[in-house]
Amino acid sequence: MKCPNCNKGWIAEILWGYPEDVESIKEELEKKEIVLGGCLVTENDPTWECNDCNHRWGYADHNDENKTDSFDYDKGFNIEEVYDQ
């Protein structure tokens, strides 16, 4: 894969949300195979980032309406799930 902006091939996948265990992805972070996108997840988050020009593009999986997750955006957090009670 190459960056659509600069045509270089040093690309990282963007990890959105708060990582549960940073130690498990530490090596990928250091190699810039993964970059952290941030904790605020939106409906328009990109999937890829160019390590050369920092251009971001793509369509992150969590943007897909057909994907289900444990967060109900209408009701908010399930506090028992958040704190594993």
Q: Give the predicted TM-score (pTM) of the model.
A: 0.72
Q: Please state the φ and ψ torsions of residue 62, each to the nearest 5 degrees.
A: -70, -10
Mean pLDDT, the chain, rounded, equals 83
Q: Is the pLDDT of residue 64 over 60?
A: yes
Fill in the amino acid letter for 45. Answer: D
Q: Which of 6-10, 48-52, 81-85 has the lowest mean pLDDT?
A: 81-85
Question: Each residue of 5-41: b (16+ CB within 10 Å) or e?
Answer: eeeeeebbebbbeeeeeeeeeeeeeeeeebbbbeeee
